[in-house]
Amino acid sequence: MLEEVFRSAWPVVVASTARLTRDLDLAEDCTQEAVERALRRWPAGFPDNPAGWLTTTAHRIALDRLRREATLRRKLPLLVDPVSGAGGSAVEGSAVEGWAIGEDADPEPTDPLRLVFTCCHPALSSESRVALTLRLVCGVDVATIAAVLLAGEAAVARRITRAKRKIAVARVPFRVPAGDELVERLDAVLTVVHLVYTAGHVGPGTRLRDTDLTGRALGLARMLVALLPGEPEPRALLGLLLLTEARGDARTGADGELVLLPDQDRSGWDRRLIREGLGLAASALRAGPDGRYALQAGVAGLHAVAPSWAQTDWARVVVTYDALLRVWPSPVVALNRAVARSRLPGADPVAVLAEIDALAPELAGYPYLPAARADLLVRLGRPAEAAAAYDGALAVTRNPVERRHLTRRRAETGTP
């Protein structure tokens, strides 16, 4: 119970404290100390408003630390609000001397979204944006981020530190940008939110998925839609995530083992999420038919409405992937298109296999490529080669649920 409360409250407490202090390091430290105090005090009595309690405590810790500074005006904040004036601290004056903190103060609802836009500044690399968002917005520890990014812990820690330093140099204000600046940063934010969901969809832990991460991503996607109701791509991203989330419970069987899309019990799909996702996807495709998230949502929608795997409209799936490749020439999209093309009536599996093999240099270390090869090789009646492909997939697959599935499929080839 306590862990769930802390994970749920983490992004709003960090974001609210960062808005107060304009200092990401300080906000993170104070939130961590507030959590530590809660661990000591809450067993004696749980507060009515846990997030408000943590926010109030983190604010007080932050202000106490700032007051202890020998010369507050010379303190260089990590985040500088342009309206506060160059060279002055954004936390001086009323932010420290006259700040009134009520009991169980509630953070502003948009604080996490402000923090995401801060983490997605153009000065940062895409990997740094993801790492910083996972750490500050989602409260994910460095070891888990390293597993998600397939990187070493020390490298991830350095990446996060460098990202904070770049934000300091760029003097990024803690706010959602407007106008051209918003448009410029929107794609990066959408990408990071999608990657956060993907990180939870196949989690780095012992379970198949991390519903906390997927829930964080869905919440942020809803905030983006509310912020930009006229933009099609936030609607498309939310639609894509909802259509994917609708299949969540069906992805594991009663024994906890992985069930792939062809074998899922579609009666277990969440029809409410599917209806909402289809509406958003259709709206986005009408407004922006060439958007990469709109097209991905279109593919997800085709799977959602198909009565079965065999009855999927594979021709439309391939056509949609063709359009997606034109606007987003990604090797992962090309792999998905090849797999879909192999399902077309009269498709030549040998030609599709050659198509997949041509993507291998670009997708080294991507486990779903050798898994797709293995599936095609099984269909071609080449079990020894299929077993070798499964071995290749196992070598780069970390999630234990997926590993058990691959191991079982490999055993089915009958090859030692």
- CATH number of the domain to which 397 belongs: 1.25.40.10
Inside any domain, residue 234: no
Q: Are residues 374 and 407 in the same domain?
A: yes
Inside any domain, residue 143: yes
Q: What pLDDT is recorded for position 51? A: 85
Q: What pLDDT is recorded for position 74? A: 52
- Summarize pLDDT for 143-172 with one digit per residue, the tens: 878 877 768 899 999 999 999 888 878 777
Please say if the pLDDT value at position 368 is more than 90.
Answer: yes
Between CA 256 and CA 406 the distance in angstroms is: 14
Inside any domain, residue 233: no
Q: Are residues 68 and 122 in the same domain?
A: no
Which of 61, 188, 195, 56 shows the shortest CA–CA distance to 138? 195
Q: Are residues 125 and 217 in the same domain?
A: yes
Please say if the pLDDT value at position 173 is more than 50.
Answer: yes
Mean pLDDT (whole number) for 28-41 = 91
Indicate the SS3 state at residue 114.
Answer: helix
Q: What pLDDT is recorded for position 85? A: 38
Tell how many helices (H) and how many strands (E) occur in the chain: 18, 0
- Summarize pLDDT for 93-128 with one digit per residue, the tens: 334 444 444 445 556 767 888 888 888 888 888 889
Q: Residue 50, Cβ neighbours under 10 Å: how many?
A: 19
Q: How high is the mean pLDDT of the chain?
A: 87
Q: What pLDDT is recorded for position 82? A: 43
Structure-block tokens of residue 104 = 């169980």
Q: Are residues 281 and 323 in the same domain?
A: no
The structure's pTM equals: 0.83
Band (pLDDT 50/70/90 cuts) for residue 47 is: confident
- Domain of 15? 1-101
Please say if the pLDDT value at position 185 is more than 90.
Answer: no
Q: Are residues 246 and 353 in the same domain?
A: no
- What is the C-alpha end-to-end distance of the chain, expressed in Å? 46
Which residues neighbour 280 within 8 Å (Cβ) at sequence distance 6 or greater?
A: 225, 235, 236, 238, 239, 242, 297
Domain's final residue, options 67, 101, 135: 101
Please say if the pLDDT value at position 392 is more than 90.
Answer: yes
Q: Are residues 114 and 96 in the same domain?
A: no
Between CA 261 and CA 201 the distance in angstroms is: 14
Percent of the chain at pLDDT exceeding 70? 90
Identify any residues that bridge with 252 across adjacent strands, giving them in sequence order: 258
Instruction: Please spell the DSSP secondary structure of 258-295, one letter per residue.
Output: B--GGG--GGGS-HHHHHHHHHHHHHHHHH-TT-HHHH
- For the chain, what's the residue count? 416
* 265, 221 Cβ separation under 8 angstroms: no
Q: What pLDDT is recorded for position 97? A: 45
Inside any domain, residue 397: yes
Number of domains composing the chain: 4
Q: Are residues 92 and 148 in the same domain?
A: no
* 281, 297 Cβ separation under 8 angstroms: yes
Q: Are residues 159 and 174 in the same domain?
A: yes
Q: Are residues 404 and 416 in the same domain?
A: yes
* 402, 368 Cβ separation under 8 angstroms: no
Inside any domain, residue 261: no
Please say if the pLDDT value at position 283 is more than 90.
Answer: yes
Band (pLDDT 50/70/90 cuts) for residue 266 is: very high
Structure-block tokens of residue 250 = 């069906």
Mean pLDDT (whole number) for 352-370 = 95
Highest mean pLDDT among 134-143, 150-159, 257-266: 257-266
**Phi, psi of 150, rounded to the nearest 5 degrees:** 55, 45
Structure-block tokens of residue 172 = 């990024």
Q: Which of 4-13, 222-231, 391-400 has the lowest mean pLDDT?
A: 4-13
Inside any domain, residue 171: yes
Q: Are residues 24 and 58 in the same domain?
A: yes
Domain's final residue, options 71, 101, 131: 101
Structure-block tokens of residue 257 = 């083992």
**Phi, psi of 122, rounded to the nearest 5 degrees:** -60, -20
* 251, 209 Cβ separation under 8 angstroms: yes
Q: What pLDDT is recorded for position 390? A: 98
Inside any domain, residue 262: no
Percent of the chain at pLDDT exceeding 90? 54
Inside any domain, residue 182: yes
Q: What pLDDT is recorded for position 106? A: 57
Q: Are residues 198 and 274 in the same domain?
A: no
- Summarize pLDDT for 214-238 with one digit per residue, the tens: 998 998 899 899 888 989 999 999 9
Q: What pLDDT is recorded for position 1? A: 61
Q: Are residues 312 and 395 in the same domain?
A: yes
Between CA 335 and CA 25 the distance in angstroms is: 40
Between CA 88 and CA 92 the distance in angstroms is: 8
Q: What pLDDT is recorded for position 90? A: 40
Highest mean pLDDT among 55-64, 223-232, 295-304: 295-304
